[in-house]
């Protein structure tokens, strides 16, 4: 690709594409948003990094604490992966335990100990992606099925006092868009609280995307630690960990859990994050995104049905998942039953018609504020043309 503007991308041969990928989540405001361009230019003029705190780092932290009620303190880092690494180390340092529970099909960045059963990369047999990962690295990571209350209760009955943390995507982005069901969420909150384990919500994709306060605002459950990234700064490198004061105080220099990064909280990323929060404060913005997400999901279901093609379209806010099967899909084991060859055929057919989708069926479509109902008409027309060739 060569450049982007609003909802559109142009490649090096000057072909134009309607961007439904959104760089896998960061482009909440679309490409080259005026607020972000102004903030980035101002930051570069003043200096890109100082190796010390700035007023913009403080302002961003204060605004995040107001936006996410579960956050009492915040530490800024450089990416979602780095934020996840920090949250896991912090949970272990706070509890004095080592065991981490994650869920099948979740993606928490390329952290060695968390790369089991990743929807986009791992084969359906749920084996560990072992290349380059030393034996034993994941021995303190336990993977459970998503949305399985019985498995969760069984684990805590046996190993609750060993469990430092449970980390999950409350709305997944790597096995289609799957929402943690109400009973599953309630059980997680109950059991982690009872056993003194840290509940970590990985909201790298959903934070600021499905609502200003992320999935927690929509689902009504507060985590002990929250991980942010992607949409937080509109495409500039940033991540954040925030949560309960007693847990966050364990981070250095207040506590003994070490974390540092030369570029963490740098003025370029923080000023662009502040500009992103300003842009996302527009009244009715999230309602509009929700309606456009619903319209696109319903339209894709209708077009597929008209051509006799089974297509499970999941949607939450401005995130959509496309799986070629009947559905419903509530976990990874159901998601991997999807026909990936059909998705690749659909992906390339849409690409030829100027529509850029996620390259994998398991990854989420991420709409931006630049996406309009006119764009939905273009997508549905292209989908009908693509299906008509099958």
Which residue numbers are catalytic?
Answer: 107, 202, 230
- Name 176's Cβ contacts closer than 8 Å, sequence gap at least 6: 312, 314, 321, 322, 323, 329, 335, 338, 361, 362, 364
Q: From CA 170, how far away is CA 275, in angstroms rounded?
A: 26
- Pick from 157, 152, 143: nearest CA to 99: 143
Q: From CA 184, how far away is CA 151, in angstroms rounded?
A: 10
- Can you give the C-alpha Rg of the chain in angstroms? 21
Tokens coding 92: 């272990």
Q: What is the arrangement of strands in the sheet containing 355-356, beginning at the earlier edge strand?
A: 3-5, 8-10, 16-19, 355-356
Q: From CA 118, how far away is CA 108, in angstroms rounded?
A: 9
Burial 8-47 (b: 16+ CB within 10 A, else e): bbeeeeeeebbbbbbbbbbbbbbbbbebbeebbeebeeee
Residue with tokens 């540092």: 260
- Pick from 231, 174, 180: nearest CA to 201: 180
Decide: helix, strand or coil at residue 347.
helix
- Name 259's Cβ contacts closer than 8 Å, sequence gap at least 6: 75, 77, 86, 89, 90, 251, 252
Q: From CA 17, how far away is CA 353, in angstroms rounded?
A: 8
Residue 15 half-sphere exposure toward CB, CA atoms < 13 A: 11
Tokens coding 247: 């847990």
376, 296 Cβ separation under 8 angstroms: yes
- Name 129's Cβ contacts closer than 8 Å, sequence gap at least 6: 115, 116, 118, 121, 122
């Amino acid at each position: 690709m060569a450049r982007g503007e609003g909802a559109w991308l142009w490649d090096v041969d000057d072909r134009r594409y309607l961007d439904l990928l959104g760089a896998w989540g960061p482009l909440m405001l679309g490409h080259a948003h005026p607020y972000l361009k102004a903030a980035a230019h101002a930051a570069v003029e003043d200096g890109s990094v100082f190796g010390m705190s700035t007023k913009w780092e403080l302002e961003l932290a204060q605004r995040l604490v107001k936006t996410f009620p579960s956050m009492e303190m915040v530490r800024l880092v450089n990416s979602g992966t780095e934020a996840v690494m920090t949250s896991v180390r912090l949970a272990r340092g706070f509890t004095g335990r080592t065991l981490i529970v994650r869920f099948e099909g979740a993606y928490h960045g390329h952290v060695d100990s968390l790369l089991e059963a990743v929807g986009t990369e791992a084969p359906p047999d749920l084996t560990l992606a072992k290349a380059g990962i030393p034996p034993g690295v994941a021995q303190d990571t336990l993977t459970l099925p998503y949305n399985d209350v019985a498995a969760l209760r069984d684990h805590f009955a046996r190993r609750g006092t060993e469990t430092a943390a449970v980390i999950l995507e409350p709305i997944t982005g790597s096995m289609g868009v799957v929402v943690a069901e109400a009973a599953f969420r309630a059980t997680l909150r109950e059991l982690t609280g009872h056993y003194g384990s840290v509940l970590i919500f990985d909201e790298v994709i959903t934070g600021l995307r499905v609502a200003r306060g992320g999935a927690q605002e929509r689902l009504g459950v507060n985590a002990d630690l929250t991980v942010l990234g992607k949409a937080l700064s509109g495409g500039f490198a940033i991540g954040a960990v925030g949560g309960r004061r007693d847990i966050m105080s364990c981070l250095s220099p207040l506590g003994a859990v070490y974390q540092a990064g030369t570029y963490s909280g740098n003025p370029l990323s923080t000023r662009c994050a502040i500009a992103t929060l300003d842009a996302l404060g527009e009244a009715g913005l999230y309602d509009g995104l929700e309606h456009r997400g619903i319209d696109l999901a319903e339209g894709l279901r209708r077009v597929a049905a008209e051509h006799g093609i089974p297509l499970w379209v999941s949607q939450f806010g401005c995130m959509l998942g496309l799986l070629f099967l009947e559905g419903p899909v509530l976990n990874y084991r159901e998601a991997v039953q999807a026909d990936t060859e059909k998705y690749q055929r659909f992906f390339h057919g849409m690409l030829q018609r100027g529509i850029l989708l996620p390259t994998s069926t398991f990854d989420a479509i991420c709409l931006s504020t630049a996406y309009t109902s006119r764009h939905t008409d273009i997508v549905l027309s292209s989908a009908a043309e693509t299906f008509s060739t099958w």
